[in-house]
Structure 1
């Protein structure tokens, strides 16, 4: 016989309390009950209020946005906010600011024409010309532009000094040794080594539009209508020096003599003669110029001859060739193959003998 607490057919599942086993793991806590959308009134509430047994409940209004956002979301938002603030602070106080470019205007320049005393010597045999005097000890082409051992300065590393020296050599190679520049009228290789500001100055000088700088301040070139190269291999002698001018500027100076074998382009088989150009070129480099591989040309002082004093060297040099003489003679003399000398006047006499064939 079934007990008083059990139905006649026994408890669910055939034993007492078997029906509770299915829902034993389900727990209805306070948050679950309070969030229910339906509410069942008690018997007392139904008697007192004469209302239905079940009513809909309006969902509780959130106390604020913080209540609806998970704690993990708040933490992530806080991390992002702090990272953004740190990025702004470090950007405003970054000790490694982008390097400043140097102000690059036109280079200061001077050109002195060296006037020969008498007839310019020459010879058909170019090697004979080169084999006379100190020129025979000169280097040939870019190989004559020897670089010193680069050493770090206070604010520039050894690699940066090496880069500056290399760029200075590239500029002299393009501007004073390239036959396409010397007599061909090309100028792109020189221009590409300059920064944008100096490229504009360079273009003005090359186009003969006047202005404060000459074409021959930027490069060596000859009047191609009357001169051609008897030997494309220029003889070179000289040195580079480097020094740190300021904490953000490195200065490279090139002191070189270039000797060219030239002949007249107007007559076949004309004898060749030598033309000497002594140039002191100063370059400056900041860290931005080193990064972009640009040079800043600051100063170019040139002695060039044999050349007539009345010749205009602004656009191109007009050498006196083999057998020619200058109409104007000058007293005193300057030898472009010697070392340091005081800055000369606009025209000076070329010391005889050093470029002569004896």
Structure 2
């Protein structure tokens, strides 16, 4: 296009000459490059050509038909110029084409945002409605069951053999047993469906620690302390443990099959017997299985051979005798137990002898010592109609002569 100047009376918007007016600011971003000018379809007449009365202000530009139609349409869609003779060279862009697509884009964005807000509000309202009608109830935390205990006294058929501890071990089935914790061997640990190999090994290790603390520790065996064993018990069973092992010396735990000292640990009555050799012989097995996806179970079957003698410093070494205890335990471990290094005792089955069948097994053990005979070889009479029969605490069996040391 030909260049244009402001009308003689000043700028169209009334701004004095020399100062930027509103129109100038409004169209300042518009840049007319050479390609834009060449693509225009209209051409402004010169002043001489416009002197005629009926002469139009513009005419079709020669050669416009040779301009690229796509370029011309693009330019025309962006800016459409009209020239007004009455307003003397005042031109204006057709905002209808410039701002129309932008407004449509803004309108579409606002509609999309509104739809998104409505969708989120609908989902939130549905969640509140479902939550009010069907509130979430977490699964109940299963409580640990009390330990179930079975105790069996094994009565000998004759006098109890005596001798030195080493000779007694050598002449008994415990000759091949290993002393102390070395006799409790751990099987290979293999992962299960829901527990790793490390967790399985942790369960086996805790089970071994419990056996060592409750069956081999001299302090536990002689009634010195129970704290090392207590630390390995599940907290839900602490009350039952305390009621079983912390009864006063003049009293015994309740004979109900759940509160018996022998169910938790091996303890000798210090007024009746003491250890003649602290190196207890032991042999047995440990087997681990996955009871549920949340719990492992370890089955422990071990036989312990103790060399015991009467209390007192003046007892001759030849007066020692062997006392045999077979412990069968089921220990359960959930993930919290494995992490906290503790166990839940499910069942405890203990067979011990030589004992008198009349002996109360609820408290500390009172083994028959060298040279002693049982006064009662049959279990006491049990009344099944009694309100609270002493289940699991008045069982008795016969100790096999093969379980005793052989004669010299």
Q: In the alignment, which residue of structure 2 is the partner of 1:107?
A: 147
**1:286-301 counterparts in 2 under 5 A?**
286-301=334-349
- Distance (Å, rounded) in 1 between the aligned partners of 2:209 and 2:149: 20
CA distance, structure 1, for counterparts of residue 350 and residue 234 of structure 2 = 23
Q: Give the match for residue 368 of structure 2.
A: 320
Residues 172 and 282 of structure 1: CA distance in aligned 2, closer, same or farther (over 3 Å): same
CA-to-aligned-CA distance 1:97-135 (integer Å, 9 cap, x gap): x99975223211100000011100011x21101111321
Say if 1:312 and 1:104 are closer, same or farther in 2 by CA, change over 3 A: same
Q: Distance in 2 between matches of 1:167 and 1:100?
A: 27
Match of 2:354 in 1: 306
Instruction: Name 1:220's counterpart in structure 2.
Output: 266
Q: Say which of 399, 402, 407 aligns to 1:350.
A: 399
Aligned pairs for 1:222-241 within 5 A: 222-241=268-287
1:206 aligned partner: 245
* 2:187 is equivalent to residue 148 of structure 1: yes
Aligned residues of 2:223 and 2:269 also touching (Cα < 8 A): no
The separation in 1 between residues aligned to 2:261 and 2:304, in whole angstroms, is: 17
Counterpart CA distance in 2 for 1:100 and 1:231 is: 49
1:186 corresponds to which of 225, 243, 250: 225
Taking a change above 3 Å as real, the CA distance of residues 100 and 168 of structure 1, as seen in their structure-2 partners, is farther
Query: Following the alignment from structure 1 to structure 2, what is the Cα–Cα distance between the partners of residues 102 and 313?
Result: 31
- Residue 156 of structure 2 corresponds to residue 116 of structure 1: yes
Structure 2 distance, partners of 1:203, 1:101, is: 23
Distance 1:197 1:268, change over 3 A: same
CA distance in 2, matches of 1:290, 1:102: 17
Is 1:174 matched with 2:213? yes
Helix, strand or coil at the partner of 1:288: helix
Counterpart for residue 257 of structure 1: 303
Structure with the larger RCO, 1 or 2 (CA within 8 Å, 6+ apart): 1
Q: How does 1:6-45 map to 2 (within 5 A)?
A: none
Contact 1:100–1:287, Cα closer than 8 Å, also in 2? no
Query: Closer, same or farther in 2 for the Cα pair 1:320/1:158, shift >3 Å?
Result: same
SS at match of 1:160: helix
Aligned to 2:323: 275
Where does residue 31 of structure 2 map in the other structure?
none
The 3-state SS of whatever aligns with 1:232 is strand
Asked whether the equivalents of residues 361 and 394 of structure 2 are also in contact (C-alpha less than 8 Å), the reply is no
User: CA 1:102–1:230 in 2, change beyond 3 Å: closer, same or farther?
Assistant: farther
Q: Residue 196 of structure 1 corresponds to which residue in structure 2? A: 235
TM-score when normalising by structure 2? 0.59
Alpha-carbon contact 2:151-2:393 (below 8 Å) kept: no
**Following TM superposition, by how much is the alpha carbon of 1:199 offset from its aligned partner in structure 2, in angstroms?**
1.2
The farther-off stretch of 181-190 and 199-208 is 199-208
CA RMSD of aligned residues (A): 3.2
Separation in structure 2 between the aligned mates of residue 163 and residue 347 of structure 1, nearest angstrom? 36
Corresponding residue for 2:293?
Answer: 247
Compute the TM-score of the two structures, normalised by the length of structure 1: 0.67
Counterpart-to-counterpart distance in 1, 2:141 and 2:156: 44
Alpha-carbon distance in 1 for matches of 2:203, 2:356 = 36
Distance of 2:231 and 2:141 partners within structure 1: 17
State how many pairs are aligned.
263
1:101/1:260 Cα in 2 relative to 1: closer, same or farther (>3 Å)?
Answer: farther
